[in-house]
Chains A and B, each alone.
Chain A
Amino acid sequence: MTGEVERFLIVGAVLFVIGALGFFTRRNMIVIVLSAEMMLHGVSLTLVTFSRVHHNLEGQAFTIFILTVAACEAGLALSLILALYQSSKSLDIEFWTELREPDLPPPMLAEDAEAAAGIPLPPLAFPRLPVAGRVPDIHDTRDAERVDDAASPTAESPTEPPKPEDVIKTASR
């Protein structure tokens, strides 16, 4: 039933859709751009498959142009992300919801809803390695203290994110 060509197209479609899903759901701007690049991978795979089906090289030539445009896009996106990061000190895309349509309501953030419902935030610390050069000891009380410090929500979570108005003022200054 499944042809030799169709399976490559199916993998391309799956990559495209998973990339689109990441683009829609993630809030880190860098992961969003990475998801867009993965959508381009799906399209490239489809084009190369078409090139094989028709036995000419147009699909491969198109894929080279996709590579070029992806490189340009990555460079521009990263400099944009750095500029936005300098304004808001965060990679969160939700800081820039001021750019939405004026008649739409502001988005409801998951952590705000959970805070309203009284659900505590999960610990945000990544596991920490001991200082280099010291023999790691899992019973070392100082390391345990350090992990406790990192796991406490006051140490990690920002106290108050800057308002978008302030951010825009900072950016325009």
Chain B
Amino acid sequence: MDQQWVARPQRAWAQLAAITTPIQGVPPEFLDGLAYLDLRLDMDWLAEHWLEAASLALLAAGIWWLMPPAPSRPKVVGLLLALAGTALLAVRLHAAAGPLLETVLFFLFAAAAVVCAILMITNRNPVYSALWFALVTLSTCGLFLLQFAPFLAAATVIVYAGAIVVTFVFVIMLAQQSGAAVYDQRSRDPLMATIAAFILLGALLGTLETAGTAAAMRGSPDLAQDTGETRTTTDTAAANALSRPAEDESLASMLALGRSLFGDYLFAVELAGTLLLVATIGAIAIAPRRRRGTL
């Protein structure tokens, strides 16, 4: 198995050669490489991946349906399409067997994140968009909690939902007091943008599947039973020393996170502080001076 992964660059080169040379003179190992590339769009591929393809197509159709430029479409159809796509994606993700509570919470937060994200980018009212964005943030924080990152969840709620969304809503109220505007009722090339975005998503999912198969072949441990307490992988040798939690420490330990931040990433922390200062000065410098009684 190891030799196969060592030989991967050569294999990629062989695949390139196989694509660029006529089929007649190709040795069998080149054809093997072609098959490895998964370029065969035959019935096997479709039978294996119809669930992902259908869910992505439903999501794309729902988003396109909900996109602003159509005044007379009933919104319910788009919502149902998007929900069906999310449900199919959930069915696709459901194969892993883990603790019941975590699985339920994962699907709750993930579905909420995806649906609220769709509603955010398709809503005609920017205030509602900001509120849906706050819900996306809360769902993402739930997923952070499931990943043993409680400090990040709290910090994200404070920074995003507490500061950024409020500032956005403030600016919307300041700049768009008359309510709906023409440019909120229209979008730019919704059909082509949706198709391009979901081709990108399909490529990302395909890459994830390939990488997941590779990790399974390398023998990565099953993280379904991982509680964050014990070290479950062995490939941490490349990590910075202070970023590794100690033997008796959980991954969720704030002590370990602080040690990583102020040990391995001390200079980066200083730089981030400088960045905040510069951004503050820049925002004050850019923000318009206003005459009395005007915006």
A contact residues vs B (CB 8 Å cutoff): 1-11, 13-22, 24-28, 30-31, 33-35, 37-38, 41, 44-45, 48-49, 51-58, 60-61, 63-65, 67-76, 78-83, 85-86, 90-94, 107, 109-111, 121-122, 124-126, 156-158
Residues of A within 8 A of B224 (CB): 3-4
B204 to A, closest residue via Cβ: A13
- The A interface, classified by DSSP as helix, strand, loop or mixed, is helix
Residues of A within 8 A of B189 (CB): 24-25
Known pairs A8-B147, A18-B117, A122-B185; A45 contacts B164 (CB<8 A): no
Could you say which interface size class chain B belongs to?
35 or more
- The B interface, classified by DSSP as helix, strand, loop or mixed, is helix
Known pairs A34-B129, A56-B239, A65-B272; A13 contacts B208 (CB<8 A): yes
Known pairs A67-B156, A72-B279, A74-B168; A31 contacts B245 (CB<8 A): no
A70: contacting residue among B63, B159, B209, B283, CB under 8 A: B159
Do the beta carbons of A86 and B171 come within 8 Å of each other? no
Complex interface residues of chain B between 249 and 287 (CB less than 8 A to chain A):
251, 256-257, 260-261, 264-265, 268, 272, 275-276, 278-280, 282-284, 286-287
Do the beta carbons of A10 and B133 come within 8 Å of each other? no
A69: contacting residue among B71, B133, B275, CB under 8 A: B275
Q: How far is the CA of A3 from the CA of B194 in the complex (A)?
A: 28
B132 CB, nearest partner CB in chain A, Å: 9
Q: How far is the CA of A9 from the CA of B187 in the complex (A)?
A: 29
Q: How far is the CA of A45 from the CA of B288 in the complex (A)?
A: 35
- Listed A/B pairs (29) with beta-carbon separation below 8 Å: A2-B93, A2-B94, A4-B96, A4-B98, A4-B224, A11-B114, A13-B201, A17-B204, A18-B121, A19-B121, A20-B197, A28-B129, A41-B136, A51-B251, A52-B147, A54-B235, A55-B251, A58-B260, A60-B151, A61-B261, A64-B261, A68-B272, A71-B276, A72-B275, A74-B164, A75-B279, A91-B126, A109-B186, A156-B180
Q: How far is the CA of A16 from the CA of B207 in the complex (A)?
A: 15
A-B contact count (CB 8 A): 311
A147 CB, nearest partner CB in chain B, Å: 13
Instruction: Judge if B33 is at the interface, Cβ distance under 8 Å.
Output: no
B64 CB, nearest partner CB in chain A, Å: 10
Instruction: Judge if B223 is at the interface, Cβ distance under 8 Å.
Output: yes
A95 CB, nearest partner CB in chain B, Å: 9
B292 CB, nearest partner CB in chain A, Å: 14
B152: contacting residue among A48, A70, A81, A107, CB under 8 A: A48
Interface string of B92-128 (1 = CB under 8 A from A): 1111101000000010001001100110110001100
